[in-house]
Structure 1
């Protein structure tokens, strides 16, 4: 069978809902996917990662594999909140030392 442009292997690891809907449901089904995804997020479908700008496709696939009984563990969800990538490089405020009296 010939691979089409909407196969899972052809989309990025963090894909937009448009790319995921095309791969999972076929072209032109983005609005349907967004409605389905909103419902499935309450059951564990990975949310859109704000930092990466898309859903982690292997976790989306793992979610459906779990839903259909192919695996027995849940995928990890997207990180909570926006990451501060520069935080590791900032100096911490100096602590004042108290001298004993």
Structure 2
């Protein structure tokens, strides 16, 4: 199993530290510039101004929710608008031969 690099970070980590831990050194710069702004729109923890970093436990919790880990195995993403009208029951017509 791969080493959990998030657990090696300080309580508040910089974007660069998080990037290296999450996607590796090679892709870290791209992730900081392109991915973090997109993730912030989905609830990725913001930088805490007092500590000048993002809270690592909340980053971990964000990813657990992002991947559905905290929801369990029964969770499923919606696949579109429900059309309950299509499930109306039809009466079965009985034939004399059925009785």
TM-score, length-normalised on structure 1? 0.62
Question: What runs of 5+ residues in structure 2 fail to find an aligned partner?
Answer: 72-99
Question: How far apart, CA to CA, are the structure 2 residues paired with 1:31 and 1:23?
Answer: 12
Question: What runs of 5+ residues in structure 1 fail to find an aligned partner?
Answer: 73-101
Structure with more of its chain in helix, by fraction: 2
Question: How far apart, CA to CA, are the structure 1 residues paired with 2:40 and 2:5?
Answer: 22
Aligned to 2:6: 8
Aligned to 1:40: 39
- Across the aligned residues of Structure 1 and Structure 2, the Cα RMSD in angstroms comes to 1.9
Seen in structure 2, the aligned counterparts of structure 1 residues 2 and 69 have a Cα distance that, compared at 3 Å, is closer
Question: How far apart, CA to CA, are the structure 1 residues paired with 2:26 and 2:16?
Answer: 8
Tell which structure's C-alpha radius of gyration is larger: 2
TM-score, length-normalised on structure 2? 0.63
**Paired residues, what number?**
70
Question: How far apart, CA to CA, are the structure 2 residues paired with 1:21 and 1:14?
Answer: 13
Q: CA deviation at 1:10?
A: 1.3
8 Å contact 1:17–1:33 — kept in the other structure?
A: no
